[in-house]
């Protein structure tokens, strides 16, 4: 008989402490480590009205010897700065933000779960200037937080193949903001995702505006078959996933031809018949797709189960993150 412990859902538990910094008068102040508690901001704060906010999500892993390692922090910090730039928010200084992340992890060291759990890190930046007439004026002031959340095994219930609704009508973001990790993009995906869940029991929506495959509400989309991996090439319309980048690197080294290009729904459905499809992102790493639902028809992907190429690529990346395989690319930063 196996017993399973009921773990809190992803993201619902925070560590005891967070890092906080404010931008005022054109400069960032020193950051402080504070107990996690409600914030005081003006009801006229820019973010509450004009959605001037962006965030990041990445993980720190505990290795078997107890040491802690953050996965590709530099790329996440650069993406956060890019998001801030596009939203005309003050860009966090990369070294300062890294110090904030290190300080939170250091302070909450004993709250980092063992593998397959991890500490999920969530830097968050938002505009705090009190002005409800600032629809076309950026926020002069801002707050930067680094939150952390212990997370446990995403696949504790087993790797279930996903059901994905292919949506060739809606978009998840304005075309120039897809690469920006901002709350509004998730708000835009919410309605279509809930509708797809209710109507088709779909786990996620794959947004394909104009018939061109983009990404889902919270993950990138990859197609795999023997020796080939296809995914949309980087452009402004979707988030440039760090997991995507890492998996492409591993696949290239394993001899896959990497096809980064635009492709349409018909091409995807054709490929999926004999191949594999998967979603990539920090939370799940690589999650296999079993069914694509398009215009009321269900299309089975390969055998309908999570395929061997998906499992293998996922296992390779997880092994690096957990310290069970050598980190040849210097992706882990020890805390
Ligand atoms: C919209 C979207 N696309 C892609 C990703 C995957 O990005 P990453 O691999 O950097 O976590 C995420 C998750 O963070 C996301 O929210």
Q: Kindly tell me if the per-residue pLDDT of 242 is higher than 70.
A: yes
User: 195-200: long-range contacts (C-beta < 8 A, 24 or more apart)?
Assistant: 196/165, 196/167, 196/293, 200/163, 200/165, 200/293
Question: In this predicted structure, what is the pLDDT of residue 5?
Answer: 61
Atom of ligand 1 nearest to the CA of 79: 10
Atom of ligand 1 nearest to the CA of 76: 10
pLDDT in tens, 249-289: 999 999 999 999 999 999 999 999 999 999 999 998 999 99
Whether the CA torsion 86, 89, 91, 92 is positive or negative: it is: negative
Contact criterion met (CB below 8 Å) for 67 and 333: no
SS3 25: coil
| 57 Cβ closer than 6 Å to some ligand 1 atom | yes
Q: Kindly tell me if the per-residue pLDDT of 329 is higher than 50.
A: yes
Distance (Å) from CA 235 to ligand 1 centroid: 14
The pTM of this model reads 0.94
Question: In this predicted structure, what is the pLDDT of residue 222?
Answer: 98
Atom of ligand 1 nearest to the CA of 282: 11
Contact criterion met (CB below 8 Å) for 59 and 321: yes
> Whose C-alpha lies nearest to ligand 1, atom 6?
281
Supply the mean pLDDT for the chain. Answer: 95
pLDDT in tens, 191-216: 999 999 999 999 999 999 999 999 99
């Amino acid at each position: 008989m196996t017993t399973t412990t009921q773990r809190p859902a992803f993201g619902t538990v925070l560590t005891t402490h967070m890092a906080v910094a404010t931008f005022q008068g054109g400069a960032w102040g020193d950051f402080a480590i504070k107990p996690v508690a409600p914030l005081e901001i003006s009801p006229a704060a820019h973010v509450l009205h004009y959605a001037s906010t962006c965030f990041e999500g990445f993980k720190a892993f505990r290795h078997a010897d107890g040491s802690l390692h953050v996965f590709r922090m530099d790329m996440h910090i650069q993406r956060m700065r890019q998001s801030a730039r596009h939203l005309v928010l003050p860009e966090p200084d990369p070294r300062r933000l890294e110090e904030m992340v290190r300080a939170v992890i250091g302070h909450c060291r004993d709250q980092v779960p063992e593998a397959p759990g991890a500490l999920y890190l969530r830097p968050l930046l938002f505009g705090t200037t009190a002005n409800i007439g600032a629809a076309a004026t950026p926020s002069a002031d801002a707050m930067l937080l680094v939150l952390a959340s212990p997370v446990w095994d995403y696949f504790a219930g087993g790797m279930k193949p996903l059901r994905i609704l292919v949506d060739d009508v809606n978009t998840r973001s304005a075309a120039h903001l897809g690469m920006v990790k901002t709350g509004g993009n998730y708000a835009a995906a919410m309605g279509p995702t809930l509708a797809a869940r209710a109507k088709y029991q779909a786990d996620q929506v794959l947004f394909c505006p104009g018939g061109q495959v983009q990404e889902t509400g919270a993950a990138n989309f990859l197609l795999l078959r023997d020796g080939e991996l296809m995914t949309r090439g980087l452009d402004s319309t979707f988030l440039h996933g760090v997991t995507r980048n890492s998996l492409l690197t591993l696949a290239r080294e394993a001899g896959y031809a990497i096809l980064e290009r635009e492709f349409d729904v018909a091409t995807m459905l054709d490929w999926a018949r004999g191949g594999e499809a998967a979603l990539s992102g920090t939370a799940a790493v690589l999650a296999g797709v079993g069914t694509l639902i398009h215009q009321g028809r269900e299309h089975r992907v390969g055998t309908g189960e999570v395929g061997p190429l998906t499992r293998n690529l996922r296992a390779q990346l997880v092994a690096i993150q957990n310290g069970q395989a050598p980190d040849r690319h210097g992706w882990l930063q020890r805390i």
